[in-house]
Amino acid sequence: MEIFSDLFFGLSVATSSPMLLATLLGVLLGLAIGVLPAMGPPAALAILLPIVVSFEPTVAVAGLAGVYYGAMYGGAVTSILLGIPGESAAMMTTLDGYPMAKNGEAGRALGIATFASFVGGFISILLFTAIAAPFAEFALRFGPIEMTALMVMTLIFSTSLGGEDRAKGFAALGLGLWLGTVGLDIVSGSPRFNFGTFELLEGIEFTVIAIGMYGVGEILASVNETAPKVARARYTLRALLPRISDMYKTWKDLIVGSVIGFVVGVLPGAGATAATIFSYSFSKKISRHPENFGKGAPEGIASPESANNSASYAAMIPLFTLGIPGSGTTAIMLGGLLMLGLQPGPLLFEQNPDFIWPVIGTFYTGNLMLVVLTILLTPILASLVFIPAAYLFPIVLGIVVYGVFSVNYSFFDLGMAMGFGLLGYLFRKFSYPSVPVLLGLVLGPILEQNVRRSLIMSNGDIGIFASSTISVVFLLLSASLLLLPMFKWAKARLKKAGV
Amino acid sequence: MRVLTAEKLFTSLFAAFAVFLLWRSYDYGILSSTITGPGFFPAIAGTLILVSTGTSLFSKVKGGESKILDEDSAGNADGPGTRVEVSRVAVLIGVTALFIVLAPYVGMIALTPFYVFACFLALAPDFRLARLGVGGGTAITFTLLAWAIFDKALGVPMPRGFF
């Protein structure tokens, strides 16, 4: 029953004034970010990093996490009212939310989305609370061999599942892994790829790359975007309140969405968007009236909305318990944790309970805040999408300039951030995913350390990675994911040849 | 410029960069007897990039130019080939570069309203007085907020320049 006392402690800290304020600011910003189509949670978190690192770690992480899960709530607002998903994870909500709004039921659709988001979030937080600590305890058995295999699996899963073109994904991953090697070599201490400059001896600052690739890259790629020219659906504030009849009608879909969202969210690379697609398809399959899906079915909103919120909390389990991020957003959060002097991983629960339990506590308070805020702020949130890029982007670029400079008080870093911004822009234009770059950058140095440590232990014998059952399982899973397309290709060729 | 041509060029440059990485890794030392050297991991990264970009290029060449993305009637593709977009991106990068060069001399806070206003003009080159007024107001408001947050609240030591 230690878990209850830990949780009680976490909730008591999470309800203190600074923590409530940090959570409130985080979720407010998250709601706004979720609405704006040109800016996603990774970009927002990257831009915020230099500012929040000056705060106390628990307060900083409460705010950052608030932005992440707040964005999942906000995405539904524009999906339903305008038919424009603010976030990719809100894409499936558009299918039934917008038709409902066009039928004059915008308020009801928003009410269902808010309630589903709350339920999905709540179930996921409960599972997080129950699973995270035992999971971390199990992970304590992992040595350098298991950690190497786990990181290899995470990188392969994230890269293979996270984008359309695997070749481009792996090229991006290679770039991230290389960026992680810039600076002094961890074993020999000799400089690598510093090109004779003093500034690169300590490596490239994580924030510089994250802000460049995500913050600046996203702005540059959206310079031609204009405010949507669509009619906004009408609703009353009273209609936003969730109805008992809708709760009863959608209870099965809420559970389906929450569970699928949690399972998919824990997996590296799959993410909240995949969770919503699986959940929507499953709900349609088990529905008595699948023909109503896509035409304004309440179940079509409840299922994906509960899934995306559930997935956003679940994605933080591997981050906090293993120190392994599975997405771009959690990679940036990991970068933030490292900047705050915290080492996420199995020992975090043992060595920093005064950090982790209050953060979990803020998930509960944040989830509650979001219900109230979404209902109250929906009219304002729906207006945000009409802010012209010409007003918004210069302000964001200004924040980027000040944010990057404030990390090391260096104009060199600022130049680097703009360079990475240009690279991020080209990546978007040529359909190269940015997430593997960040994952490679964050996990690369730890992976290199573990690989080299293992090889030193075995006198260079790579057979050491097959000496542990856990490691073998992880490596076999990775290999199967890598080889699956080849098997499919060979099967198709054989079928074509009539064999 | 057609998207796929530009994409092939970008991918080829990426591949060339991978060759550079492999060459430097060899210089750093990949293996000495059974001990991995500083070039070991960069060599893995370089190989990964080279194989992946090679695969990508091969599939593009094999697939031909049949998949031109969103090309309009004027032959403009929805890539960085659209002139307006490229010019806006270039101006934003150029203005920021100018800011980086001038800020140590002019002062960061003093330069900020001009920077924000220049970005505003780059994104919406509309010279009607009302629009310019809104842009100017946004620039000044942001500068005041940046000064309050970064200079006063967070105590970031910003270059003051001549001021």
A334-363 pLDDT, tens digit per residue, is 888 888 888 888 888 888 889 999 999 999
pLDDT of A242 > 60? The answer is yes
> What integer pLDDT is reported at residue A252 of this predicted model?
92
Which residue carries 């994230």 as its tokens? A158
Q: How far apart are CA A58 and CA A294, in angstroms?
A: 42
Reported confidence tier of residue B142, pLDDT bands at 50, 70, 90: very high
Nearest to B99 among A181, A401, A409 (CB): A401
Interchain CB distance below 8 Å, A170 and B51: yes
Contact at 8 Å (CB) between B157 and A409?
Answer: yes
> What integer pLDDT is reported at residue A157 of this predicted model?
85
B156: closest chain A residue by CA: A406
CA distances from A65 to A59, A78, A241, A377 (A): 10, 22, 26, 20
* B41 at interface of A, judged by CB pairs closer than 8 A: yes
A421 chain-B contacts, CB cut-off 8 A: 93
> What integer pLDDT is reported at residue B75 of this predicted model?
41
Q: Which residue has the higher pLDDT, A444 or A71?
A: A444
Nearest to B56 among A168, A402, A414 (CB): A168
What residues pair up with B31 in beta bridges, in sequence order? B36
> What integer pLDDT is reported at residue A123 of this predicted model?
94
A190: closest chain B residue by CA: B38
What residues pair up with B32 in beta bridges, in sequence order? B35
Mean pLDDT of B54-64: 81
* B88 at interface of A, judged by CB pairs closer than 8 A: yes
How distant is the alpha carbon of residue B63 from its chain centre? 29
A53: closest chain B residue by CA: B154
DSSP one-letter code for A268: T
Q: How far apart are CA A96 and CA A112, in angstroms?
A: 11
* B9 at interface of A, judged by CB pairs closer than 8 A: no
Nearest to B52 among A170, A224, A455 (CB): A170
Nearest to B52 among A171, A192, A399 (CB): A171
How distant is the alpha carbon of residue A403 from its chain centre? 21
pLDDT of A241 > 90? The answer is no
Sign of CA dihedral B107, B109, B114, B115: positive
Interchain CB distance below 8 Å, A193 and B24: yes
Reported confidence tier of residue A227, pLDDT bands at 50, 70, 90: low
What is the interface size between A and B, counted as CB pairs within 8 Å?
173
Mean pLDDT of A163-185: 91
A173 chain-B contacts, CB cut-off 8 A: 48
> Mean pLDDT: which of A26-35, A335-344, B138-147 is highest?
B138-147
CA distance to partner chain A, nearest, from residue B60 (Å): 11
> What integer pLDDT is reported at residue A72 of this predicted model?
77
Reported confidence tier of residue B1, pLDDT bands at 50, 70, 90: low
What token pair was written down for A133? Answer: 């600590």
Percent above pLDDT 90 for chain A: 27
A177 chain-B contacts, CB cut-off 8 A: 41, 44-45, 48
B83: closest chain A residue by CA: A224
Q: How far apart are CA A80 and CA A73, in angstroms?
A: 12
Mean pLDDT of B50-67: 78
> What integer pLDDT is reported at residue B69 of this predicted model?
45
Nearest to B48 among A177, A401, A451 (CB): A177
A444: closest chain B residue by CA: B41
Query: What type of residue sits at position A288?
Result: R
> What integer pLDDT is reported at residue A476 of this predicted model?
93
pLDDT of B19 > 90? The answer is yes
Q: Kindly give the residue spans of alpha helices, DSSP state H, lying in A386-468.
A: 389-408, 411-429, 435-457
Which residue carries 């919406």 as its tokens? B124
Q: How far apart are CA A97 and CA A91, in angstroms?
A: 10
Mean pLDDT of A248-260: 92
B92 chain-A contacts, CB cut-off 8 A: 219-220, 223, 397
> What integer pLDDT is reported at residue A364 of this predicted model?
93
Reported confidence tier of residue A235, pLDDT bands at 50, 70, 90: low
pLDDT tens digits, one per residue of A284-316: 888 888 888 888 899 999 999 999 999 988 988
What residues pair up with A183 in beta bridges, in sequence order? A192
> What integer pLDDT is reported at residue B2 of this predicted model?
59
Looking from the CA of A79 toward its CB, the CA atoms found within 13 Å total: 30
What residues pair up with B36 in beta bridges, in sequence order? B31
> What integer pLDDT is reported at residue A233 of this predicted model?
63
Nearest to A414 among B7, B100, B139 (CB): B100
What token pair was written down for A260? Answer: 């699928």
The average confidence (pLDDT) of chain B is 84
Reported confidence tier of residue B71, pLDDT bands at 50, 70, 90: very low
Backbone dihedral region for residue B54 (phi beyond 0: left; psi -120 to 50: alpha; all else: beta) = alpha
Choosing among B8, B48, B70, B82, which should be mutated to test the A contact, i.e. which has the most A CBs within 10 A?
B48
pLDDT tens digits, one per residue of A400-409: 899 889 888 8
- Cβ neighbours of residue A184 under 8 Å, at least 6 residues apart? A190, A191, A192, A201, A202, A203
* B104 at interface of A, judged by CB pairs closer than 8 A: yes
> What integer pLDDT is reported at residue A290 of this predicted model?
87
CA distance to partner chain B, nearest, from residue A128 (Å): 34
- Cβ neighbours of residue B43 under 8 Å, at least 6 residues apart? B21, B22, B25, B26, B30
Q: Which residue has the higher pLDDT, A81 or A431?
A: A431
A156 chain-B contacts, CB cut-off 8 A: none
Per mean pLDDT, which range of A55-64, A223-232, A331-340, B25-34 is the poorest?
Answer: A223-232
Reported confidence tier of residue B76, pLDDT bands at 50, 70, 90: very low
> Mean pLDDT: which of A25-29, A323-327, A378-382, B112-116 is highest?
B112-116
Query: What type of residue sits at position A211?
Result: I
pLDDT tens digits, one per residue of A95-135: 898 888 888 888 888 889 989 999 999 999 999 999 988 88
CA distance to partner chain A, nearest, from residue B126 (Å): 10
Reported confidence tier of residue B93, pLDDT bands at 50, 70, 90: very high
Nearest to B104 among A173, A411, A429 (CB): A411
What token pair was written down for A144? Answer: 């350098």
Interchain CB distance below 8 Å, B146 and A430: no
Q: How far apart are CA A78 and CA B102, in angstroms?
A: 41
Mean pLDDT of A270-275: 78
Nearest alpha carbon to residue A320 among A34, A23, A64, A43: A64
